[in-house]
A = this chain, B = another copy of it.
Amino acid sequence: MLKLCRKYLNWIQNSVFEGEISEVRLHELLISAKKIMKEESDSIIIFKGRDIRWTEKQIVGRERSNIDIFL
C-alpha cells in the first residue's frame, strides 16, 4: 500500500501521505487500493481541503517521524 500511495502522494510519516491530487487520480488510487486492502479490517481516511489557502501545516520537532494531529 505504501508503494501505491507514494505513486500519487508525498509520504510524510508512518501511514500518512499528503499532496495535491485531482478527483480522477484520487479515484484511480482508491480503486487500486481497494484491490490490495482488506476492507473489513483496513481503512483509508482522506482529509480533503478544498483550497490550500484554508489549510495550514505546522511541524514540531523533526520533519519525518511519528505523530500527526488534524484540526
Contacts and interface: CB of A to CB of B under 8 A. Distances in A.
A71 B29 CA distance: 13
Contact of A42 (B15, B19, B37, B67): B67
A56 B70 CA distance: 12
Copies of the protein in its oligomer: 2
A18 B70 contact: yes
A55 B5 CA distance: 21
Contact of A49 (B12, B34, B44, B71): B71
Contacts of A57: 45-48
Contacts of A14: 14-15
Q: Considering the complex of A and B, which 4 residue pairs feature the smallest CB-CB distances, nearest first? A: A43-B65, A43-B61, A18-B70, A45-B68
